[in-house]
Amino acid sequence: MDDYWGKLFSPEGFMPHGHCYMWQPEVLWSNVIGDGVIALAYFAIPVTLAVFTNQRPNPKLRKVLWLFAAFILACGTTHVIDIITVWQPAYRIEGVVKIFTAVVSVITAGYLWVLLPVAKNLPSPGMFNQTKKELQEANVALNQKIRELEITKRELENFAYTVSHNLRSPVRHVIAYSDLLTENLSKEAISEANYSHLEAVNTSSHHMGKLVDDLLGYMKTGRMEVNYEPLDMSKIVEQVIPILEQANDTSLEWKIGPLPTIYADERMMRQLWQNLLENAVKFSSKEENPMVSLTATENSGGWEFVLSDNGAGFNEERKEKIFQIFERLHKHSEYSGTGIGLAQVSQIVEKHYGRITAESPPNQKGSIFRIWIPAKV
Amino acid sequence: MFKHSLSLPTFLIAEDDFLDFQLLDSAIKATGHSCPIIHFETGQDLIDYLKDWTPSQHEIAAVFMDVKMPVMNGLEALEIIRREELTKDLPVVMFTSSNQPKDIESAYELGANAYLLKAMSLQEFNESVNHMVGFWGKFNQRAPIKRGEPQYS
């Protein structure tokens, strides 16, 4: 054995392989050229594999690709040795190269067997195309569903609108005729109990009237497209305040800072300030020195309006509900309302791609509303 | 002597909802006006009446007309009123149940002189009727048609 390793590179005692070909040129060169081309092709394969793994990295395949590259390089080398041994009888080194190639081949073959389940799960182009087709079909079905849902949503909105609109007339009659009854009848004429029943009908009908009108307003806003135009907010607020003071028969301290001109829908903004300021008036007018302040600052590509009052505020724990329709955070006996005003405000803000938050810090009086409207759409 | 009683300026009211008519009727009466009131249930009934009407029969103080009515709605009737030589100058007040700009604009475009919102509050409604009757009744106004005239002249 020592002899083998000692004479690894020695041709001693062997004949070159060319002798076996009887040095016949056609036999010799066909073998040499064949081996040469095979070797070149084998050496080219790992280069292709390297480019492939570089462009499409796949951690699961990296190890087997390395093994495959070693295996194919070793195979190529055996063909190079075959060419050398035609003239140089280096059979010992050829044996070593072949043993190395055999070991790498066996490891690669074994590893491929282990990898079979993983390889089986790799999507084939056929599977890929099938999946793509299924995805396209699912996409079409999904779009169809979205269209159907949009139609259903519109139908529901129309239905709710029509119902409210048709309710308006009978509700108005109940209000008007019970108003007339309350005016024209005296407690003595129909007994105190009956009169209080009549008043209950009257109060409820008025509440129902407000509910129907607010609901109609909410749904009208929902169906409206935003008509953007430059709006001087201070002008709108200035116009809204006297109407509110007159309607609520109250006067309070207004601290209105300089307000900007923003791009928004005039009707919607008027409605927004009317609802927000009406709320502020409603919840602060019972206080000793009612005060409402409104300021605006430029903030992250838009304008932030901060509206605060020193009124009753609300329970912070339930602030998530404040912008939901029909949600009320106060007792009817304390503050009247339909629970629609702030839902409409939030709807208007959303239509302008803005944000609104409400807070009522426990350590101070009143509530703070922050409304952010983007400067550009 | 017959002629005298008939020639009192009259309010014509086209309203299909009887409860609404009653409210308007009592609101007009509450203003203290003693003008006769003639009620029609559809726009068609009103137009049929106006076809046979001549100013020598009686004056018309104003026409109050609901927008939504069966057979012929208020806007269709308004269009006919503005088209006919004899009626084209009559003051017409439209009743609307919504204050949507679209509804109000189309009433004005067809030549309405005013619109009256069917407000939820009876007090608000009565006040509006009071203003309307005060203006169109007392001064026996004639409608100056400004908007929509080229459409049907």
Q: What is the mean pLDDT of the segment spanning A292-311?
A: 90
Closest-CA residue of chain B to A216: B98
Q: Which of A169, A206, A210 sits opposite B97 (nearest CB)?
A: A169
Contact list in B for residue A209 (CB cut-off 8 A) is 120-121
pLDDT score at A158: 87
pLDDT at A227 over 80: yes
Chain B residues in contact with A169 (beta carbon < 8 A): 17, 20, 97, 118
Residue B147: pLDDT band (50, 70, 90) is very low
> Which residue is listed with tokens 């081996």?
A35
Supply the pTM of this predicted model: 0.63
Q: Per-residue pLDDT for A324 more than 90?
A: no
Interface of B with A in 1-60 (CB under 8 A): 17, 19-20, 23, 26
Cβ–Cβ gap A176/B100 under 8 Å: no
- What pLDDT score does B142 carry? 52
Interatomic CA distance for residues A185 and A1, integer angstroms:
131
Using CA coordinates, name the residue in chain A closest to B23: A176
B70 vs chain A: nearest CA distance in angstroms?
15
In chain B the first and final C-alpha atoms are separated, in Å, by: 38
Q: Which residue has the higher pLDDT, A311 or A335?
A: A311
How much is the pLDDT for B139? 52
Q: Taking a C-beta distance cutoff of 8 angstroms, is the pair A71, A104 a contact?
A: yes
Q: What is the DSSP code string of A176-230?
A: HHHHHHHHH--HHHH-HHHHHHHHHHHHHHHHHHHHHHHHHHHHHHHHPPP--EE
* Sole residue written with tokens 């309203």: B15
Q: Which of A278, A274, A155 is nearest to A223 (CA)?
A: A155
CB contact under 8 A, B97 and A173: no
Classify the C-alpha dihedral A270-A272-A275-A281 as positive or negative: negative
* pLDDT at residue A353 tops 70: yes
Please report the ipTM that was assigned to this predicted complex.
Answer: 0.71
Rounded percentage of chain A residues whose pLDDT exceeds 70: 99
pLDDT tens column, A146-186: 999 999 988 988 888 888 888 888 999 999 999 999 988 88
Check if A180 contacts B (Cβ < 8 Å): yes
Distance to chain A for B118, nearest Cα, Å = 8
Could you tell me the pLDDT band of residue A1, with boundaries at 50, 70 and 90?
low
Contacts of residue A96, defined as CB under 8 A and 6 or more positions apart, other chains included, come to: A8
The confidence score (pLDDT) of residue B137 equals 66
DSSP A258: -
Is residue A95 a contact partner of residue A23, using CB atoms and an 8 Å limit?
no
Taking only the tens place, the pLDDT of each residue in B20-41 is 898 888 888 888 777 788 999 9
Chain B residue with Cα closest to A211: B120
H or E element, residue B55: none
Indicate the burial class of A21 (C-beta count within 10 angstroms; 0-12, 13-18, 19 or more): middle
Higher pLDDT, B56 or A260: A260
Burial of B32 (0-12, 13-18, 19+ CB in 10 A): exposed
Asked whether the predicted pLDDT for residue A115 surpasses 60, the reply is yes
What type of residue is A292? V
pLDDT band at A112 (very low <50, low <70, confident <90, very high): confident
CB atoms within 10 A of CB A207: 16
Tokens of B84: 């006919």
Residue B122: its chain A contacts at CB < 8 A?
175-176, 179-180
Backbone angles phi, psi at A231, to 5 degrees: -125, 130
Average pLDDT, chain A: 88
Lowest mean pLDDT among A69-78, A265-274, A312-321: A312-321
Residue-level pLDDT at A146 = 95
- Measured between beta carbons, the chain B residues lying within 8 angstroms of A210 are 120
* Cβ–Cβ below 8 Å for A168 and B97: yes
Rounded distance between C-alpha atoms, residue A216 and residue A209, angstroms: 11
Quick one: pLDDT at residue A53? 81
